[in-house]
Structure formats: C-alpha cells, structure tokens
A and B are shown apart, each in its own frame.
Chain A
C-alpha cells in the first residue's frame, strides 16, 4: 500500500508495524508529529501498545529502559535539547545492553536558539553505546525503523535512527507501507535473552567492580563491532521480502570517480542530482552515502575509498574547536591506508541550523575540492556570510 506521508508519520508507521509494546516520549519540535501520531494509534487501538506519558525526556528514556528490561519491545523519539536531556539514560541503555529503538529528528542545538536541522544533537551522543543510522528518504525511515528492532534484538544493543528535521520530518512523499503479515514474519515477537521476571527474580544494575567492569565494556564493544555484518544479513532478508535495501554505506556512480562526495541524511539526495549533472558533463564525480556512523564502518570505508584521488566530506555538524565530525573520524579511519592509495580528504562544514544546502552549495564544494584548496584550518566552511 503506497501512501503520501511526512517523515514523522513514516516513523509512526514503522513503530506500529513493528508491534512495539511500550512507548514513552515527550513532544518537541520537529519531532512532535511522531508522538501525536503514535498516541492517536494507541488511543484508537490500531497500535495496542502502552503509551506512558512523562514530564521529561529523561523520564521517557528511563521508562523505556524499565520496559525493555522486562523483555518487551520499547520505543521513544526526541530531538535536540530533548535528546540531550536523555544523555545520562542513553549511556545506561547502552551499557545495560537494552535493545531499545529511538528516533532522533535531527535539530540544531542552542544557543543560539534554533529549531531547524543539523546533526550536532545526535553526534554529541556518539559515545553512549548506541548504533547510529542516518536516513535519506521517508521510505528508508519506515523500513529502517522496523529493521532497527531486528538489529537491536539480535545483538542486544540500542539503535538510534536519525531523520533531518523538516527536510524529512515535515516533507510528504510516497511511502510503500510494508504489509503487516510480512513484517510479522520478518520480525517476530521479541525473545529476550534475559529479563526482569517475577517468576525468576534476579537483581539488575548491581555494582560491578574493577575486576569485571572492563569485561562488560569489552563485550559491548564486540557486539557493536558485529553490527555492520549483522545489518547486512538483516538487509538481505528485507531485500528478499520487500525488494529494498540501503546498506551501511552506499556508493552512487562511484566507479572510476576522481572525486567522491561523502554525505549523510537528506543532503545525499540533492548531491545525487549534482552527481548526475556532473556525470552527464563527462566529469568523474561520484558519491558515498554514510548511513551508519556508529559503529564507525571503518573497514567498509577503507574499501570504498582506497585509491580514490580526492574525497570531499559534507558535514552538517561541527565539533567546535576541531572540525566536521564525519570528516575527522573518516580522516582517522583512512590513516592506515598506504600513502599511494590514501585519498586527499577535504572536510566541509555547511547547512548548520537549517541553512539550505542547494545544488549550488554542493557545486562549490566540488570546485574547492578540485582546486585542491588547502585551508589554513582543517575545516572549510561553505555558505557563511563574511
């Protein structure tokens, strides 16, 4: 069934089809429609889940942590300051290995006060032990929401998926809503490997002393390192049943490229149009979409970028005092490639706080990269008024 819907409603449909059992969330722009739609679905019975109203995002995450610990499927969503307010609990969900799925509708962080999109909210949570997946279309949002539960429950890791505020959250486009019976076959009821159970009481969250803490962190790291291959297997099933897949990375017209754009989120779509135009003009320009940011897909990136002469990373985010976050991590991942095969990497900071990224902006990135502009700093800002 194809329906025209906004990204926020695509999230709600994904949650409904995944037969989530507990939802706790607090509304915040631009995520609000997710909460509205889910509470409607819970009220009219189309989604027979328990919707727990709370007074803050910290409590919302605490509620889904408790729910998930009892073995049920749990979901929440937030944006920007709401996500940051969850920060302590995000670490807890990661460390407790709870397969919670949450959506972050990417929104810039204040001050200065802003409701528009950039990735600083989710990227500031990169060390909390959550998988991070960045989506490009509303179809990818609904599909990824469902696949995220399978990924989370297979490895006992929480998964956060991102959609750009307004550019997806409030944009209506056709979405092929997966069939419920097929989703049920793809994603059966959660079978928790351990859970809070009154019939078999165990203590959770006990003090772990120095003799065991490191081992538990090691196990968490091992689980996260399995994410790329586990997601690939899950996507293979999804492809077989629904005819669509996305990949942790996606190369677009990248064969024999002299210059590769590295993108994430909705800027990828506009960049595809720019790549098409450049290819039509005979230029060897391609694109690499990074859907997965955590775990950082280092091996996949090395394979995809080895031998490419120049790489331009588009960062809709900034680590103040350092640079674009995707570019910095990518630079580090490419360090071990031999000199002769290592791309020259140019990091561009753009589109912060909802600044529009038009084809002209991406053309400027390509021209600066092609000219080999070496900045006095390691980040090149595009579209900043002097």
Chain B
C-alpha cells in the first residue's frame, strides 16, 4: 500500500487533484481511496487531501499519519506549515515551484524531491488566473512521469471523466508537465557537500 498526502490552498483544486489521481490509478487497475482532510475549507487557507493505493482491496479507513509521498501544490506552505510531518524517511516529495529540487536541501535530507513549475504551465494554458492558477492537472502530469505509476492515456482519460471545463487545456498542461519534471534523489546535497570537503 502506498499512502499520499496532498497540500494546497483552498481554490487550487487540491481535493479534485486527489480524486483525479484516484481515478487515474483506478484506470490502471488499482484499488484506490481518496478523501479530504475532514473539516471546513476556505479559499486561500491550507487544504490537505489524502490518497491510498494498493493492488489489494483497501481496509484502513482513518487519516494518513505516515505518508509515503507528498504532493505540494503551493510552495508557500513549505516553511509556514510543517508539511513533512510523519513523512516516511526515503519518501517522495513533489513540489509545484520554478526552483530546482537542489534548492530544497533540508527536504533532500530525508526524502527524494521533484519539482515542476505547475503554476507557470497552468498560466500558459489559461487555467485559472495568474494570481491563482489551477495547478492540479499540471502537477498530476508531473506525478505520472515522476513515479511511472500512471500512463498518459489513463491520466487523459481521468481528466476527461472528472474535469468539467477546459478539458483540452488541462490535458495539454498535464502533457507538458510530464516532460518538465526535475528530480533529485534523497541525499543529493549531502553528497555534493561531501565532495567539496
């Protein structure tokens, strides 16, 4: 079983992202369960969503305390909230940012880090406004490429099933993100510093 936690802000499509990802994984033949952090959501406030995926039927029905992976839709959450709480050592973090994975040395100490400029891609494809782009399909394209868990065909089918508007723009954003994701394995910075010493 793989457990994911998604962090975003109200209005970015975080809960929809967890549902879309669940549909895409389901189309790959997997058992899935996705749910929001149970509470009251407001535009701009931190939003958390969860996803479980397995090849066997899922049994647990409680919140995810120790995720294997994080997807961060809003980089301003890093530093203002402890997004890595409970993240398993050696887990993965995918961040929406125009920075490189190596720009997150503290995260690289305990996790593999990937980055994607999902906001830039969303804006280019007219998804949401420049001040608040809707980044969920772009970051999921990056997730598909980064993990190899989902084919582009399933991602596109999931978008067609779940996204009510701008379907072509969302597919284009996900496709562009697939080839733009950058990755650095855990310990990257530590290794580089050791070489300098």
Which A residues are closer than 8 A to B by beta carbons?
A: 2, 4, 115-116, 165-167, 170-174, 266-267, 269-270, 272-273, 276, 354, 356-359
Contacts and interface: CB of A to CB of B under 8 A. Distances in A.
B61 A270 contact: yes
Given A4-B22, A4-B23, A115-B40, A172 B62 contact: no
A266 B61 contact: yes
Given A172-B19, A172-B33, A359 B62 contact: yes
Interface residues of B, number: 20
A165 B38 CA distance: 9
Contacts of A115: 40
Contacts of A173: 22, 32-34, 58
Contact of A273 (B33, B35, B40, B60): B60
Interface in B36-83: 36, 38, 40, 58-63, 65
B31 interface: yes
21 contacts: A2-B26, A4-B22, A4-B26, A115-B40, A166-B36, A166-B38, A167-B35, A170-B36, A171-B33, A171-B35, A172-B18, A172-B22, A172-B34, A173-B22, A173-B32, A173-B33, A174-B31, A269-B58, A270-B59, A270-B61, A356-B62
- At the interface, is chain B mostly helix, strand, loop or mixed? mixed
A116 B38 contact: yes
Nearest to B18: A172
B67 to A, nearest CB: 14
Nearest to A351: B62
B129 to A, nearest CB: 26
7 shortest interchain CB distances as A-B pairs: A166-B38, A273-B59, A171-B35, A269-B61, A266-B61, A358-B62, A172-B34
Contacts of B60: 269-270, 273, 359
B186 to A, nearest CB: 27
Given A171-B35, A172-B35, A173-B34, 20 more contacts: A115-B40, A166-B38, A171-B33, A171-B34, A172-B18, A172-B32, A172-B33, A172-B34, A173-B22, A173-B33, A173-B58, A174-B31, A267-B61, A269-B58, A269-B61, A270-B61, A273-B59, A273-B60, A358-B65, A359-B62
A354 B35 CA distance: 14
